[in-house]
Amino acid sequence: LYVIWASMADKNFTSMMQRVAQQADQLILTAPESERSARPDDLYQTLPEVLKTKATIQTTVEAALDHVYSNATSQDLVVVAGSLYLIGELRRQLVGEVVNE
């Protein structure tokens, strides 16, 4: 299970992220393009030592997605969580901009 995680700095993300990290085989910490985003290295520092071994820091959402593409197999599940900003940015990278007609 790969988890791509980002959070806004003004949210109480520590307990949520730790619960999700416990279930993950690999936790990819990143940040969407937003002034409110928590820095991935700050997210990493809040993890207990035992969970840090699962964590990878990717400074951009694009880099996080590339990391998953390079490492996950067709048998792996990828979950994106923690921030709607993250989900929106990943969606734009995967399917492009939404155009309202």
pLDDT the model gives residue 67: 96
| Angle between helical axes of 61-71 and 84-95 (0-180°, round to 10) | 70
In a domain? residue 58:
yes
Q: How does pLDDT run across 66-85, given as a tens digit for each residue? A: 999 999 999 999 999 989 99
Looking at the structure of the chain, the number of domains it has is: 1
Distances (CA, A) of 79 to 51, 59, 63: 17, 18, 16
Q: Give the residue numbers spanning the domain of 51.
A: 2-95
* pLDDT, position 101: 66
Looking up residue 37, the CATH number of its domain turns out to be 3.90.190.20
pTM of the model: 0.88
In a domain, 101, yes or no: no
Q: Does a structural domain hold residue 100?
A: no
Q: What is the pLDDT of residue 17?
A: 87
